[in-house]
Amino acid sequence: MTLAATPINVNDYRDGYPFQSHFLDRNGLRYHYLDEGSGEAVVMVHGNPTWSYFFRRVIAALSPAYRCIAPDHMGCGLSDKPDESRYDFRLRSRVDDFSALMDHLNLERVTLMVHDWGGMIAMAWAVANADRVARIVVTNTAGFFPPGGKGIPLRLWIVRNLGAFARPAVLHGNLFARGATVMAPRKRLSADARKGLLAPYNSPRNRIATLRFVQDIPMMAGDPGFDIVDDVSRNLDRLSSVPMLILWGKHDFVFDVDYYDEWRRRFPAAEYHLFEDAGHYLLEDVPEAIMDRVTNFLGRHPI
């Protein structure tokens, strides 16, 4: 059975997201992105199951002085919601989409702000284009395999490997996106924030990406995407001279403090802060503190 995409109700997110939409054609599919303000470019790359809405406060704070760009990965946010016959939902395609956007916008020197899967996607581009990366803000993400050979949490393992359970639970029950609104923040989300984060994932077809992101986690050689993660991990040191700010929500059941420590080990010159009162959705938990540190960091490291 083919799942039909469902229109997104703009009233579910517009009050906190008053931005103009732009689209890049990707083989007949619309790849959505925001492009607000002017000046030095700050490119914000979301993960799963969020979308560019996750960066709404950052965009509002920075766009008076910076050019703020935030794409929605295919199947996420306001990008098209293809089925699996039109798009393969693999890491390689994610990186190719992002690379195409960077070239389309002709961005020569950029600041990257990354979260969750957005870190791996953006870092794959960054290690291949290190001369175009001016600054990096890392938030609860990875650019390497799980530290110390650890596995993924059981809840992710079930979604990744038990398709008979995961497909109906995630596509029809919206288990992943709805669950994240409870488990990812340390503090209770406001009703508006919850509605905004969930707005694009309002039907089974519109949730395919949230399932496929988890199923695409590479765990061993031969898995799709494994070679990309391996390449990023081995070549992160190409970015060692780039000013980096590491901001981390301590209470993250996926990207826990072992990932934070690994970023610090690989980038000993980086600035960093561990937020004791934040979880995976640190931009929801401590937005003002994030804005203060990001604004200060950008100001001290002009391009």
Average pLDDT per 10 consecutive residues for the chain, totaling 303 residues: 75 92 98 98 99 98 98 98 96 98 96 98 99 99 95 86 88 94 97 97 97 93 96 98 99 97 99 99 98 98 94
pLDDT score of 89: 98
Selected from 3.20.20.140, 3.40.50.1820, 3.40.50.300, 3.40.50.1000, the CATH number assigned to the domain covering 16-300 reads 3.40.50.1820
Distance of alpha carbon 13 from alpha carbon 15, whole angstroms: 6
SS3 127: helix
Contacts of 59 (CB under 8 A, 6+ apart): 19, 34, 36, 37, 44, 68, 70
CA dist., res. 301 & res. 294, Å (int): 11
105 vs 132: CA distance, rounded Å: 13
The total number of residues written for the chain in this structure: 303
Enumerate residues 6+ apart whose C-beta is below 8 A from 101. Answer: 24, 31, 33, 69, 71
Domain boundaries of the chain, sorted by first residue: 16-300
pLDDT at residue number 6: 84
Does the reported pTM lie above 0.85? yes
Q: Looking at residue 295, what is its pLDDT?
A: 98
